[in-house]
Amino acid sequence: MKLFWGPHTCAIGIHILLEEIGKPYEAEKMDVAGGATEEDWFKAINPKGKVPTLVADDGRVLTEFMPMAIWLARQNPDAQLLPTDPDEEYRALSIADYAVGTIHGQGFGRIFKPAKFEPQDPVHQGLGLGQGLVKKQGETMVVEAFDILDKQMAGHDWVAGNNFGLADAALFYVTRWAPPNGIELPSNLAAHLSRMKERSAVRRVMAVWGEK
């Protein structure tokens, strides 16, 4: 398998899952900010032009965080990345999807790329006048979402069951964005972030990414 990743992206979650699985894989760093994912050779691999992108051993190209994570879990059941209990599986997928779709897609999306969410009326369009408000809106969404998940994480070391799983990788990648963006994590999420950083697989990946 080969993973295409870029700094400061959600691809770190998939990278961690690959490291946890323990099977051989390659990882290629992409200069996402510099437009590398928009180059023709990469677009030929993934027309969406984004990371994470995973090329399976049989040549299939996998995209989108949640389907990719579930595919890895199903392909590697011994890694126990997804609970077998239906209720725990629901909890894992519910929290992971909320992290990916709402906290990342809606909240941090506004913080990182406010121009994409800026009102497109004649007063604001192209002037950036509304980007500060959009970013603030994103921050509010993230804080409110973190508060919801913090309550759900009370009494849980890991998202579902007693073991690390794919949902922990999803939660980790969004909580790790909080401190650099001036967002304080509530206690249960802060504890989970610290717990994740203690895992050997996570430490190996973060060393590759140049993060602490």
Q: Is residue 109 pLDDT above 60, yes or no?
A: yes
Q: Phi/psi at 183 (nearest 5 deg)? A: -105, 125
pLDDT in tens, 127-141: 555 788 899 999 999
> Do 106 and 174 lie in a common domain?
yes
Residue 170 shares a structural domain with residue 91: yes
- Mean pLDDT, residues 107-122: 85
Arithmetic mean of pLDDT, 114-120: 81
Task: Say if residue 39 is in the same domain as residue 100.
Answer: no
| Cβ count within 10 A of residue 103 | 26
Q: What is the per-residue pLDDT for 146?
A: 98
Query: What is the average pLDDT score of the chain?
Result: 94
What is the model's pTM?
Answer: 0.94
pLDDT bracket for residue 126 (50, 70, 90): low
Q: What is the pLDDT of residue 128?
A: 53
Residue 122 one-letter amino acid? P
Q: How many domains does the chain have?
A: 2
Q: Is 209 within a domain?
A: no
Q: Does one domain contain both 175 and 129?
A: yes
| Statement to judge: residues 73 and 145 lie in one domain | no
Asked if pLDDT for residue 170 goes beyond 80, the answer is yes
Spell out the long-range contacts of 26-32 with Cβ–Cβ below 8 A and sequence spacing 24 or more: 26/1, 26/2, 27/2, 27/3, 27/208, 28/2, 28/3, 28/4, 29/5, 30/4, 30/5, 30/6, 31/6, 32/6, 32/7, 32/8
Q: What local confidence, expressed as pLDDT, does residue 115 receive?
A: 86
- Does residue 208 belong to any structural domain of this protein? no
Q: Which residue range is the domain that position 22 belongs to?
A: 2-79
195 and 103 together in one domain: yes
How high is the pLDDT of residue 212? 79
Mean pLDDT value across residues 157-176: 97
Show which of 79, 98, 123 is a domain's final residue.
79
Q: Which of 55, 79, 103 is the last residue of a domain?
A: 79
Please list, in sequence order, all residues whose beta carbon lies within 8 angstroms of the beta carbon of residue 178, skipping any fewer than 6 positions away: 142, 146, 184, 185, 189
Query: Is residue 206 domain-resident?
Result: no
Final residue in a domain of this structure, among 61, 79, 97: 79
Q: Mean of the pLDDT values across residues 185-205?
A: 98
pLDDT tens readout for residues 65-105: 999 999 999 999 999 999 999 999 999 999 999 999 999 99
Which residues does 190 contact at the CB level (< 8 Å), separation at least 6? Answer: 175
pLDDT computed for residue 123 by the predictor: 55
Is 192 part of a structural domain of the chain?
Answer: yes
95 and 167 co-located in one domain? yes
Residues 107 and 192 in one domain: yes
The number of residues in the chain equals 212
Strand runs labelled E in the chain: 2-5, 26-29, 53-55, 61-63
